[in-house]
Protein backbone atom coordinates (compact mmCIF):
# COMPACT_ATOMS: atom_id res chain seq x y z
CA UNK A 1 0.00 0.00 0.00
CA UNK A 2 1.14 3.52 -0.72
CA UNK A 3 0.21 6.34 1.68
CA UNK A 4 0.81 10.05 1.12
CA UNK A 5 0.10 12.59 3.84
CA UNK A 6 -0.12 16.31 3.08
CA UNK A 7 0.24 18.59 6.10
CA UNK A 8 1.76 21.88 7.21
CA UNK A 9 3.43 19.99 10.09
CA UNK A 10 5.36 17.09 8.50
CA UNK A 11 7.26 16.50 11.77
CA UNK A 12 3.96 15.56 13.40
CA UNK A 13 3.95 12.41 11.26
CA UNK A 14 7.35 11.19 12.53
CA UNK A 15 5.71 8.28 14.45
CA UNK A 16 4.93 6.72 11.06
CA UNK A 17 8.51 5.48 10.97
CA UNK A 18 8.16 3.93 14.45
CA UNK A 19 6.13 1.09 15.86
CA UNK A 20 3.60 -0.71 13.64
CA UNK A 21 3.72 1.43 10.49
CA UNK A 22 7.53 1.42 10.80
CA UNK A 23 7.48 -2.39 10.86
CA UNK A 24 5.22 -2.50 7.80
CA UNK A 25 7.62 -0.20 5.97
CA UNK A 26 10.54 -2.49 6.84
CA UNK A 27 8.56 -5.48 5.55
CA UNK A 28 7.97 -3.65 2.26
CA UNK A 29 4.18 -3.67 2.77
CA UNK A 30 3.97 0.07 3.02
CA UNK A 31 5.40 3.05 1.19
CA UNK A 32 4.69 6.24 3.18
CA UNK A 33 5.50 9.75 1.99
CA UNK A 34 4.86 12.89 4.01
CA UNK A 35 4.61 16.24 2.19
CA UNK A 36 4.75 19.82 3.40
CA UNK A 37 1.81 21.72 1.92
CA UNK A 38 3.92 24.87 1.97
CA UNK A 39 6.09 23.37 -0.79
CA UNK A 40 3.18 24.25 -3.13
CA UNK A 41 3.02 27.93 -2.13
CA UNK A 42 4.63 30.65 -4.24
CA UNK A 43 4.86 33.67 -1.97
CA UNK A 44 7.72 34.70 0.30
CA UNK A 45 5.75 33.86 3.46
CA UNK A 46 4.58 30.49 2.14
CA UNK A 47 0.99 31.39 3.01
CA UNK A 48 -1.61 28.62 3.23
CA UNK A 49 -4.52 30.43 4.91
CA UNK A 50 -6.73 33.48 4.58
CA UNK A 51 -9.77 35.06 6.22
CA UNK A 52 -13.16 33.36 5.75
CA UNK A 53 -15.66 34.70 3.23
CA UNK A 54 -18.77 35.72 5.12
CA UNK A 55 -16.74 36.71 8.16
CA UNK A 56 -16.25 34.92 11.44
CA UNK A 57 -13.39 33.87 13.63
CA UNK A 58 -10.25 32.06 12.48
CA UNK A 59 -8.64 31.41 9.13
CA UNK A 60 -9.42 29.00 6.30
CA UNK A 61 -6.89 27.02 4.24
CA UNK A 62 -6.59 28.49 0.75
CA UNK A 63 -7.49 26.27 -2.22
CA UNK A 64 -4.47 26.99 -4.47
CA UNK A 65 -1.70 25.13 -2.57
CA UNK A 66 -4.07 22.24 -1.84
CA UNK A 67 -5.07 22.05 -5.51
CA UNK A 68 -1.46 21.91 -6.71
CA UNK A 69 -0.45 19.44 -3.98
CA UNK A 70 -3.28 17.03 -4.72
CA UNK A 71 -2.83 17.28 -8.51
CA UNK A 72 0.73 16.05 -7.96
CA UNK A 73 0.33 13.55 -5.11
CA UNK A 74 -3.01 12.11 -6.22
CA UNK A 75 -2.21 11.68 -9.90
CA UNK A 76 -3.00 7.93 -10.07
CA UNK A 77 -6.61 7.89 -8.78
CA UNK A 78 -6.11 7.15 -5.09
CA UNK A 79 -8.65 7.31 -2.28
CA UNK A 80 -8.40 10.78 -0.78
CA UNK A 81 -9.09 11.01 2.95
CA UNK A 82 -9.95 14.45 4.30
CA UNK A 83 -9.82 14.43 8.09
CA UNK A 84 -12.63 16.57 9.52
CA UNK A 85 -14.88 16.54 12.59
CA UNK A 86 -17.84 16.74 10.21
CA UNK A 87 -16.88 13.57 8.35
CA UNK A 88 -18.20 9.99 8.59
CA UNK A 89 -17.11 8.40 11.89
CA UNK A 90 -13.95 6.31 11.68
CA UNK A 91 -14.78 2.70 12.60
CA UNK A 92 -13.18 -0.72 12.30
CA UNK A 93 -15.45 -1.33 9.28
CA UNK A 94 -14.05 1.76 7.56
CA UNK A 95 -10.50 0.74 8.51
CA UNK A 96 -11.14 -2.60 6.78
CA UNK A 97 -12.54 -0.88 3.72
CA UNK A 98 -9.56 1.49 3.46
CA UNK A 99 -7.13 -1.42 3.94
CA UNK A 100 -8.26 -2.78 0.56
CA UNK A 101 -7.14 0.36 -1.29
CA UNK A 102 -3.78 0.50 -3.06
CA UNK A 103 -3.16 4.17 -2.47
CA UNK A 104 -4.44 6.51 0.24
CA UNK A 105 -3.81 10.26 0.28
CA UNK A 106 -4.48 12.05 3.58
CA UNK A 107 -5.21 15.79 3.61
CA UNK A 108 -4.69 17.22 7.10
CA UNK A 109 -6.63 20.39 7.81
CA UNK A 110 -5.65 23.16 10.23
CA UNK A 111 -7.24 26.44 11.35
CA UNK A 112 -11.00 26.40 10.57
CA UNK A 113 -10.48 23.78 7.87
CA UNK A 114 -9.89 23.59 4.11
CA UNK A 115 -11.79 25.64 1.51
CA UNK A 116 -14.73 23.39 0.53
CA UNK A 117 -13.91 23.66 -3.18
CA UNK A 118 -10.76 21.60 -2.62
CA UNK A 119 -12.88 18.67 -1.45
CA UNK A 120 -15.32 19.11 -4.33
CA UNK A 121 -12.47 19.26 -6.83
CA UNK A 122 -10.74 16.23 -5.28
CA UNK A 123 -13.64 14.08 -6.47
CA UNK A 124 -12.22 14.47 -10.00
CA UNK A 125 -8.95 12.88 -8.76
CA UNK A 126 -10.34 9.79 -7.05
CA UNK A 127 -12.66 8.48 -4.35
CA UNK A 128 -13.11 11.10 -1.60
CA UNK A 129 -13.80 10.21 2.04
CA UNK A 130 -14.32 12.86 4.70
CA UNK A 131 -13.52 11.08 7.95
CA UNK A 132 -13.91 12.06 11.61
CA UNK A 133 -11.91 10.47 14.39
CA UNK A 134 -14.69 11.20 16.87
CA UNK A 135 -17.11 13.76 18.20
CA UNK A 136 -14.54 16.25 19.42
CA UNK A 137 -12.36 18.90 17.80
CA UNK A 138 -8.61 18.49 17.39
CA UNK A 139 -6.29 21.32 16.40
CA UNK A 140 -5.34 19.62 13.15
CA UNK A 141 -5.85 16.49 11.07
CA UNK A 142 -2.43 14.97 11.76
CA UNK A 143 -3.41 12.98 14.85
CA UNK A 144 -6.49 11.71 13.02
CA UNK A 145 -4.36 10.66 10.03
CA UNK A 146 -1.92 8.85 12.34
CA UNK A 147 -4.73 6.97 14.06
CA UNK A 148 -6.38 5.99 10.76
CA UNK A 149 -3.06 4.85 9.24
CA UNK A 150 -2.27 2.71 12.28
CA UNK A 151 -5.69 1.05 12.28
CA UNK A 152 -5.53 0.41 8.52
CA UNK A 153 -1.95 -0.79 8.30
CA UNK A 154 -2.34 -3.52 10.93
CA UNK A 155 -5.05 -5.03 8.70
CA UNK A 156 -2.77 -5.38 5.68
CA UNK A 157 -2.36 -9.04 4.73
CA UNK A 158 0.99 -10.31 5.98
CA UNK A 159 1.42 -7.55 8.52
CA UNK A 160 0.34 -9.23 11.76
CA UNK A 161 2.46 -12.22 12.75
CA UNK A 162 -0.66 -13.93 14.09
CA UNK A 163 -3.72 -13.12 11.95
CA UNK A 164 -5.98 -14.83 14.54
CA UNK A 165 -5.36 -12.03 17.01
CA UNK A 166 -7.09 -9.68 14.53
CA UNK A 167 -10.18 -11.87 14.30
CA UNK A 168 -10.77 -11.83 18.08
CA UNK A 169 -10.39 -8.13 18.69
CA UNK A 170 -12.93 -5.56 19.82
CA UNK A 171 -15.32 -4.48 17.04
CA UNK A 172 -14.43 -7.40 14.75
CA UNK A 173 -17.67 -9.23 15.57
CA UNK A 174 -19.61 -6.15 16.63
CA UNK A 175 -18.71 -6.70 20.31
CA UNK A 176 -16.07 -5.32 22.64
CA UNK A 177 -13.40 -7.87 23.50
CA UNK A 178 -13.72 -10.08 26.61
CA UNK A 179 -11.23 -9.40 29.48
CA UNK A 180 -7.80 -10.97 29.01
CA UNK A 181 -5.37 -12.41 31.58
CA UNK A 182 -1.84 -13.82 31.70
CA UNK A 183 0.44 -15.40 34.31
CA UNK A 184 0.57 -15.53 37.30
CA UNK A 185 -2.79 -17.18 38.03
CA UNK A 186 -3.01 -15.27 41.31
CA UNK A 187 -1.78 -11.70 41.77
CA UNK A 188 -2.29 -9.40 44.75
CA UNK A 189 -5.17 -11.52 45.92
CA UNK A 190 -6.88 -11.41 42.52
CA UNK A 191 -7.41 -14.74 40.73
CA UNK A 192 -7.75 -15.46 37.02
CA UNK A 193 -11.30 -16.80 36.39
CA UNK A 194 -11.25 -20.56 37.00
CA UNK A 195 -12.75 -21.38 33.59
CA UNK A 196 -9.65 -20.05 31.81
CA UNK A 197 -7.48 -22.58 33.68
CA UNK A 198 -9.83 -25.48 32.91
CA UNK A 199 -8.45 -26.41 29.49
CA UNK A 200 -12.07 -26.87 28.35
CA UNK A 201 -12.13 -24.96 25.05
CA UNK A 202 -15.93 -25.09 24.72
CA UNK A 203 -16.48 -23.58 28.18
CA UNK A 204 -13.77 -20.99 27.56
CA UNK A 205 -15.33 -19.88 24.26
CA UNK A 206 -18.78 -19.65 25.87
CA UNK A 207 -17.41 -17.65 28.83
CA UNK A 208 -15.57 -15.27 26.52
CA UNK A 209 -18.66 -14.65 24.40
CA UNK A 210 -20.77 -14.04 27.50
CA UNK A 211 -18.18 -11.60 28.87
CA UNK A 212 -17.96 -9.79 25.52
CA UNK A 213 -21.74 -9.38 25.34
CA UNK A 214 -21.95 -8.30 29.01
CA UNK A 215 -19.15 -5.75 28.63
CA UNK A 216 -20.67 -4.39 25.41
CA UNK A 217 -24.11 -4.08 27.06
CA UNK A 218 -22.59 -2.16 29.97
CA UNK A 219 -20.22 0.10 28.07
CA UNK A 220 -21.58 0.40 24.53
CA UNK A 221 -25.27 -0.61 24.41
CA UNK A 222 -25.49 1.24 21.08
CA UNK A 223 -23.46 -1.60 19.52
CA UNK A 224 -26.00 -4.21 20.62
CA UNK A 225 -28.87 -3.32 18.30
CA UNK A 226 -30.09 -6.78 17.17
CA UNK A 227 -28.87 -6.17 13.62
CA UNK A 228 -25.39 -5.12 14.89
CA UNK A 229 -24.41 -8.46 16.48
CA UNK A 230 -23.87 -11.58 14.38
CA UNK A 231 -25.67 -14.38 16.21
CA UNK A 232 -27.72 -11.96 18.34
CA UNK A 233 -26.74 -9.89 21.35
CA UNK A 234 -28.75 -11.48 24.13
CA UNK A 235 -27.19 -11.89 27.58
CA UNK A 236 -27.11 -15.47 28.80
136 belongs to the binding site for ligand SAM (CB under 6 A): yes
Phi, psi of 130 (to 5 degrees): -95, 120
Interacting stretch for ligand SAM, rule CB under 6 A, among 1-9, 110-118, 160-168, 190-198? 110-118
Q: Which residues of 54-69 are buried (b: 16+ CB within 10 A; e: fewer)?
A: eeeeeebbbbebbbeb
- Binding-site size for ligand SAM (CB under 6 A) equals 19
d(CA 223, CA 85): 21
d(CA 165, CA 194): 23
CB-nearer residue toward ligand SAM: 130 or 177: 130
223-226 long-range contacts, Cβ below 8 Å, gap at least 24? Answer: 223/174, 223/175, 223/176
CB-nearer residue toward ligand SAM: 70 or 213: 70
Interacting stretch for ligand SAM, rule CB under 6 A, among 24-32, 78-86, 152-160, 210-218? 78-86
Interacting stretch for ligand SAM, rule CB under 6 A, among 33-41, 81-89, 169-177, 180-188? 81-89
CB-nearer residue toward ligand SAM: 138 or 229: 138
Helix axes 142-153, 19-26, angle to 10 degrees: 50
**Which residues lie near ligand SAM (CB under 6 A)?**
83-86, 108-110, 112-113, 132-134, 136-141, 144
Amino acid sequence: MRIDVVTIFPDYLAPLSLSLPGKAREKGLLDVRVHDLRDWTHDRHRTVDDTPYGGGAGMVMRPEPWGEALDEVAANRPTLVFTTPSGEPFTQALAKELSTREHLVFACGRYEGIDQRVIEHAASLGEVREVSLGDYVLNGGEVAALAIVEAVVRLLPGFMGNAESLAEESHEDGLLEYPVYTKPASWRGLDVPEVLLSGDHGRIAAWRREQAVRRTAQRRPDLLAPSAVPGGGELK
